[in-house]
Structure 1
Amino acid sequence: MSISAVKIDPRVESVAVDDRRLEVVLRDGRTISAPTAWFPRLARADAAQRADWEVSAAGLGIHWPQIDEDLSVEGLLRGGGGAA
Protein backbone atom coordinates (compact mmCIF):
# COMPACT_ATOMS: atom_id res chain seq x y z
CA MET A 1 0.00 0.00 0.00
CA SER A 2 1.45 3.35 -0.96
CA ILE A 3 0.76 6.67 0.64
CA SER A 4 0.95 9.73 -1.55
CA ALA A 5 2.40 12.77 0.10
CA VAL A 6 0.77 16.11 -0.56
CA LYS A 7 3.34 18.75 -1.31
CA ILE A 8 2.35 21.95 0.46
CA ASP A 9 3.52 25.12 -1.26
CA PRO A 10 1.71 28.19 0.08
CA ARG A 11 3.39 30.64 -2.30
CA VAL A 12 1.21 32.83 -4.52
CA GLU A 13 0.62 31.58 -8.08
CA SER A 14 -2.05 34.04 -9.26
CA VAL A 15 -4.43 36.73 -8.04
CA ALA A 16 -7.78 37.93 -9.36
CA VAL A 17 -9.78 40.80 -7.86
CA ASP A 18 -13.12 42.25 -8.94
CA ASP A 19 -15.85 44.29 -7.26
CA ARG A 20 -17.02 41.27 -5.28
CA ARG A 21 -14.10 38.89 -4.64
CA LEU A 22 -10.40 38.50 -4.07
CA GLU A 23 -9.20 35.10 -5.25
CA VAL A 24 -5.65 33.88 -4.66
CA VAL A 25 -4.40 30.61 -6.15
CA LEU A 26 -1.44 29.04 -4.38
CA ARG A 27 1.26 26.97 -6.05
CA ASP A 28 -0.03 23.80 -4.41
CA GLY A 29 -3.46 24.25 -6.03
CA ARG A 30 -5.39 25.68 -3.10
CA THR A 31 -7.58 28.70 -3.72
CA ILE A 32 -8.31 31.35 -1.10
CA SER A 33 -11.36 33.52 -1.71
CA ALA A 34 -12.68 36.44 0.31
CA PRO A 35 -15.06 39.36 -0.23
CA THR A 36 -13.32 42.43 -1.65
CA ALA A 37 -15.24 44.45 0.97
CA TRP A 38 -12.92 42.99 3.64
CA PHE A 39 -10.08 45.02 2.09
CA PRO A 40 -11.15 48.69 1.84
CA ARG A 41 -8.25 49.78 -0.38
CA LEU A 42 -9.00 47.03 -2.87
CA ALA A 43 -12.72 47.79 -2.68
CA ARG A 44 -12.09 51.45 -3.57
CA ALA A 45 -9.51 50.71 -6.28
CA ASP A 46 -10.37 50.67 -9.97
CA ALA A 47 -9.86 47.61 -12.18
CA ALA A 48 -6.43 48.75 -13.43
CA GLN A 49 -5.17 49.30 -9.88
CA ARG A 50 -6.46 45.91 -8.77
CA ALA A 51 -4.80 44.21 -11.73
CA ASP A 52 -1.42 45.76 -10.87
CA TRP A 53 -0.25 43.34 -8.19
CA GLU A 54 3.07 41.67 -7.48
CA VAL A 55 4.24 38.76 -5.37
CA SER A 56 6.11 39.85 -2.23
CA ALA A 57 7.68 38.30 0.88
CA ALA A 58 9.35 35.43 -1.00
CA GLY A 59 6.02 34.38 -2.51
CA LEU A 60 4.04 34.53 0.71
CA GLY A 61 2.53 37.96 0.18
CA ILE A 62 0.82 40.16 -2.38
CA HIS A 63 1.52 43.86 -2.94
CA TRP A 64 -0.55 46.37 -4.93
CA PRO A 65 1.87 49.28 -5.54
CA GLN A 66 -0.68 51.77 -6.88
CA ILE A 67 -2.80 51.58 -3.73
CA ASP A 68 -0.04 50.61 -1.23
CA GLU A 69 -1.89 47.47 -0.09
CA ASP A 70 -0.12 44.37 1.26
CA LEU A 71 -1.71 41.06 2.19
CA SER A 72 -0.11 37.86 3.44
CA VAL A 73 -1.06 34.30 2.56
CA GLU A 74 -0.99 33.45 6.25
CA GLY A 75 -3.45 36.23 7.05
CA LEU A 76 -5.74 35.20 4.21
CA LEU A 77 -5.70 31.58 5.38
CA ARG A 78 -6.68 32.77 8.88
CA GLY A 79 -9.60 34.70 7.43
CA GLY A 80 -8.16 38.18 7.58
CA GLY A 81 -5.58 39.88 5.44
CA GLY A 82 -2.53 40.54 7.47
CA ALA A 83 0.27 42.70 6.13
CA ALA A 84 2.85 40.85 4.06
Structure 2
Amino acid sequence: MKKHHEMDDIAIERGILSPVVDGQRIQRDLKQISPALAAATEEEQKEFEVSPSRYGIHWKLIDEDISIDALLGVAHHPTPSRRSA
Protein backbone atom coordinates (compact mmCIF):
# COMPACT_ATOMS: atom_id res chain seq x y z
CA MET A 1 0.00 0.00 0.00
CA LYS A 2 1.30 3.40 -0.96
CA LYS A 3 1.59 5.81 1.94
CA HIS A 4 0.58 9.36 1.13
CA HIS A 5 2.40 10.96 4.08
CA GLU A 6 4.70 10.06 6.93
CA MET A 7 3.06 10.96 10.24
CA ASP A 8 4.28 10.96 13.80
CA ASP A 9 3.53 12.40 17.19
CA ILE A 10 -0.10 13.51 16.74
CA ALA A 11 -1.32 15.57 19.68
CA ILE A 12 -4.25 17.82 20.53
CA GLU A 13 -3.62 20.36 23.26
CA ARG A 14 -5.50 23.54 24.13
CA GLY A 15 -7.59 23.39 20.95
CA ILE A 16 -4.61 22.86 18.62
CA LEU A 17 -4.03 19.79 16.44
CA SER A 18 -0.29 19.29 16.21
CA PRO A 19 1.05 16.37 14.13
CA VAL A 20 4.46 15.88 12.55
CA VAL A 21 3.78 15.37 8.83
CA ASP A 22 6.56 14.48 6.40
CA GLY A 23 9.14 15.53 9.00
CA GLN A 24 7.60 18.93 9.81
CA ARG A 25 5.49 19.86 12.82
CA ILE A 26 2.29 21.61 11.78
CA GLN A 27 -0.28 23.22 14.06
CA ARG A 28 -3.90 23.93 13.22
CA ASP A 29 -6.65 25.46 15.35
CA LEU A 30 -9.47 22.93 15.76
CA LYS A 31 -12.11 25.65 15.44
CA GLN A 32 -10.86 26.44 11.95
CA ILE A 33 -10.50 22.87 10.67
CA SER A 34 -13.35 21.06 12.43
CA PRO A 35 -16.01 22.63 14.64
CA ALA A 36 -17.16 19.10 15.61
CA LEU A 37 -13.68 18.16 16.78
CA ALA A 38 -13.29 21.48 18.61
CA ALA A 39 -16.57 20.83 20.48
CA ALA A 40 -15.63 17.24 21.38
CA THR A 41 -14.54 16.26 24.86
CA GLU A 42 -10.86 15.70 25.59
CA GLU A 43 -11.52 11.94 25.70
CA GLU A 44 -13.23 12.04 22.28
CA GLN A 45 -10.37 14.08 20.81
CA LYS A 46 -7.78 11.56 21.99
CA GLU A 47 -9.58 8.57 20.43
CA PHE A 48 -8.41 8.67 16.80
CA GLU A 49 -6.78 6.45 14.24
CA VAL A 50 -4.59 7.21 11.26
CA SER A 51 -5.60 5.56 8.00
CA PRO A 52 -3.22 2.80 6.85
CA SER A 53 -2.33 4.84 3.75
CA ARG A 54 -1.56 7.85 5.99
CA TYR A 55 -4.06 9.92 4.01
CA GLY A 56 -6.18 11.03 6.96
CA ILE A 57 -7.15 10.86 10.62
CA HIS A 58 -10.50 9.46 11.85
CA TRP A 59 -12.23 10.12 15.19
CA LYS A 60 -14.65 7.21 15.59
CA LEU A 61 -16.48 8.54 18.68
CA ILE A 62 -17.60 11.69 16.85
CA ASP A 63 -17.49 10.31 13.27
CA GLU A 64 -15.08 13.00 12.06
CA ASP A 65 -12.38 12.72 9.38
CA ILE A 66 -9.62 15.12 8.41
CA SER A 67 -7.40 14.59 5.39
CA ILE A 68 -3.73 15.37 5.78
CA ASP A 69 -3.72 17.12 2.42
CA ALA A 70 -6.36 19.52 3.75
CA LEU A 71 -4.22 20.25 6.81
CA LEU A 72 -1.28 20.97 4.51
CA GLY A 73 -3.35 23.12 2.16
CA VAL A 74 -2.91 20.77 -0.80
CA ALA A 75 -5.67 21.31 -3.35
CA HIS A 76 -6.67 18.56 -5.74
CA HIS A 77 -8.28 19.48 -9.01
CA PRO A 78 -10.56 17.15 -10.95
CA THR A 79 -9.19 15.75 -14.16
CA PRO A 80 -11.12 16.47 -17.35
CA SER A 81 -13.56 13.74 -18.31
CA ARG A 82 -12.65 11.52 -21.18
CA ARG A 83 -14.94 11.82 -24.15
CA SER A 84 -15.48 9.22 -26.76
CA ALA A 85 -16.17 10.00 -30.40
TM over 0.5: yes
**Which has the higher Rg, Structure 1 or Structure 2?**
2
Alignment correspondent of 2:23: 29
Q: Which runs of 5+ in 1 are unaligned?
A: 1-8, 80-84
Residue 25 of structure 1 aligns with an amino acid whose one-letter code is V
- 1: CA distance, partners of 2:58 / 2:10: 11
Deviation of 1:57 (Å) = 5.2
- 2: CA distance, partners of 1:32 / 1:69: 19
Q: Which runs of 5+ in 2 are unaligned?
A: 75-85
Aligned length: 70
**Taking every aligned residue pair, what percent have the same amino acid on both sides?**
34
Match of 1:63 among 44, 53, 58: 58
